[in-house]
Amino acid sequence: MRVYLVGGYVRDLLLTRELGYSESQGDRDWVVVGATPQQMLEKGFKPVGKDFPVFLHPDTHEEYALARTERKIGPGYHGFTFHTSQDVTLEEDLKRRDLTINAMALDGEKLIDPYGGLQDIRAKLLRHVSDAFKEDPVRILRIARFNAKLPDFSVASTTHAMLCEMVNNGEADSLVAERVFQEMRKALKEVRPSRFFEVLTKCGLWQRFFQDFPIDQQILHELDLSESLCEAEKFALLTHGENDLTALKNFLTLLKPPAEISDLVLLWHKIKNDFSQQDPESVLNLIENCDAIRRPDRLDKVLHVAHFLYKINTDIWHRALEKVILIDSAKIAASCIQKSDIRCAIRNARLQAIKEPY
């Protein structure tokens, strides 16, 4: 039985040593060669894998996976069968991985690099390990995310050609919205999110999945500067260029994000052109359109996007909301003889409060 440190931890360690990247705080993953599940259990490891044997170390709780190979038996990214046995070598296990920079291992301090991952790190190149790459369409999304994570790297021409082939031959059609969204939300947290969308556009996956939904270069540039925005705010920014409500709803239907994101995207579409008017009635209209009296967080989010995108001072809306919240709506309602007058009376009180000096 031999145990090797593999995967992202090794990659990030070499990125730090070779290129000066910040040290990673990621989990360590291990591959075990020459062992059986029974031997792992006898050593106190806890089984957690369903499709193939993965175990948790009894003390560190780090993952230890038995070396395995995989074979494509059906369409899509679920169409694989896995094989584990004592005769599967480390090199065979590493060969099934996506990129050369992810296909390295450490035996103590000794680097095992059968597919040239270190050379590609030094060349700042994202390159597939083998032709098996094209059997899993999720890898298109993963390489796009690595392109965003490592902005100094480029996709190898042979790998780009393989991405295009996967889209053109229909292999990528098996991708589901949930997985696309999962990788997209990760990409929006990376150093250069724009590079994720550039890869998907250049290989044709974006057009295949989202038809004609626009992502223009200016929005991509803004995304790269949007670190201060939360996730939902970044999605509002991402969709800013679409002015057709039906197209926007179709995009959200395809992507299937959580309700919080869909809500803010649609709200931003509704009020994104309303920030140029700052008279009391326009300010109140925006506050009411955001339902900010009940849900002030919605106003906070659209103001974050407006301040970021339009470079405007949003204090006027913040101050107005503070004043409006202090209005005693119940008291005003009780003073109205006719119920039909209540709504107008409350709104007039809100307007008057906004007009008063702070």
For 198, other C-beta atoms within 10 Å of its C-beta total 19
pLDDT band for position 81 (50/70/90)? Answer: low
Is residue 145 one of the residues assigned to a domain? no
Is residue 331 one of the residues assigned to a domain? yes
Is residue 264 one of the residues assigned to a domain? no
- Give residue 123's identity as a one-letter amino acid code: A
For 353, other C-beta atoms within 10 Å of its C-beta total 17
Residue 73: give its domain's CATH number: 3.30.460.10
Per-residue pLDDT reduced to its tens digit, 172-219:
998 988 999 999 999 999 999 999 999 999 999 999 999 888 888 999
Is residue 321 one of the residues assigned to a domain? yes
Is residue 229 one of the residues assigned to a domain? no
Per-residue pLDDT reduced to its tens digit, 121-160:
999 999 999 999 998 999 999 999 999 999 999 999 999 9
Q: Over the Cα atoms of the chain, what is R_g?
A: 27
Answer for the pair 3, 32: CB distance below 8 angstroms, yes or no.
yes
Per-residue pLDDT reduced to its tens digit, 281-326:
999 999 999 999 999 999 999 999 999 999 999 999 999 999 999 9
Residue 126's DSSP bridge partners are 155
Is residue 221 one of the residues assigned to a domain? no
3-state secondary structure of 105: strand
pLDDT value of position 229: 98
Report how far Cα 269 is from the mean position of its chain's Cα atoms: 21
Q: Of the residues 115, 132, 152, which one is the last residue of a structural domain? A: 115
Is residue 77 one of the residues assigned to a domain? yes
Q: Does residue 79 have a pLDDT over 60?
A: no
Q: Of the residues 61, 95, 115, which one is the last residue of a structural domain? A: 115
Q: Of the residues 96, 115, 134, which one is the last residue of a structural domain? A: 115
Which residue in 107, 52, 55, 111 sits closest to 85, CA to CA? 52
Rounded to two decimals, what is the model's pTM? 0.87
Maximum C-alpha span of the chain: 87
Q: Which domain holds residue 102?
A: 1-115
pLDDT value of position 78: 54
Count of domains forming the chain: 2
Euclidean distance between CA atoms 77 and 226, whole angstroms: 32
Token pair of 347 as six digits: 């709104």
Is residue 346 one of the residues assigned to a domain? yes
